Amino acid sequence: MIQIAIDGPSGAGKSTVAKALAARLGIVYVDTGALYRTIGYAAVSRGIATKDAMALEALLPELQIDVRYENGIQCVYLNGENLGDRIRRPEISMAASDVSAIPAVRAFLLDTQREIARKNNVVMDGRDIGTVILPDADVKIFMFASAEARARRRTLELEQKGMPADYEDVLREMKERDAQDSGRAIAPAVPAEDAVMLDNSELDIEGSVAAVIAIMKQKLGEDALAWE
């Protein structure tokens, strides 16, 4: 089994790059942010304050979260319902960040993530994959870019998904969310000691994928990707 961990702040292109890489290598892409988004969505839709740790803890036993792969795409089901793009809405981003700082929420999602990696070759992206979820991952990358480059990409992405947003709003919210994710007490979004840092401010998707493959070859040897 191979485990490739890609962590970093929001909008660094982790999911786009990880998805392309997984398709190229024929392995499973795991978007762990979708799990926190699902819990954020569940809280918001029930009118629960997303920073209320006690209320969130009481909510967890009511949630059945399943990750399924349909036509190669990761789908997250909440109590039997595929939430689709509803978890991508901007207000759910902050809700996900809020609930992800609650230890019981992180504990609740731990096994789901490790179980997928136990059964499959994976490229997993998130904030604490290299530090907490898969500490023995074969390759760990911390992918980042300037806040401005990330906000530009995220604004474009939202527009393409039919959810147009103002660049300045995206930039402000992104900075706020990153500060919360990297400053929290539990599993903060920081690079693992053995992670390779990849600044892709000046790279496009293909360039970022190529950079990740170069890092993999350096870590695992040229032959490691023979099954590519």
Contact 61, 156 (CB under 8 A): no
> ∠ CA 225-131-22 to the nearest 5 degrees?
30
Asked whether position 36 contacts ligand DC by CB under 6 A, the answer is yes
Quick note: the x/- pattern for ligand DC over 59-98, rule CB under 6 A, is ----------------------------------x--xx-
Binder to ligand DC among 3, 21, 29, 33 (CB under 6 A)?
33
Distance CA 61, CA 30 (A): 23
Phi, psi of 225 (to 5 degrees): -100, 20
CA atoms of 59 and 69, how far apart (whole Å): 26
Sketch the per residue contact string, 147 through 186, with ligand DC: x for CB under 6 A, - otherwise: ------------------------------x---x-----
- Using the contact rule CB under 6 A, the part of the chain among 30-38, 45-53, 134-142, 163-171 near ligand DC is 30-38
Q: How far apart are CA 40 and CA 125, in angstroms?
A: 18
- 67 and 122 Cβ atoms separated by less than 8 Å: no
- Residues within window 189-208 making contact with ligand DC, judged by CB under 6 A: none
List 2, 4, 10, 216, residue binding ligand DC (CB under 6 A)? 10
Toward ligand DC, which CB reaches closer, 40 or 196?
Answer: 40
**Strand arrangement of the beta sheet that strand 73-78 belongs to:** 65-70, 73-78, 81-82
Q: Which is nearer to ligand DC, 26 or 172 (CB)?
A: 172
Binding stretches for ligand DC (CB under 6 A): 10, 32-33, 36-37, 93, 96-97, 100, 126-129, 177, 181
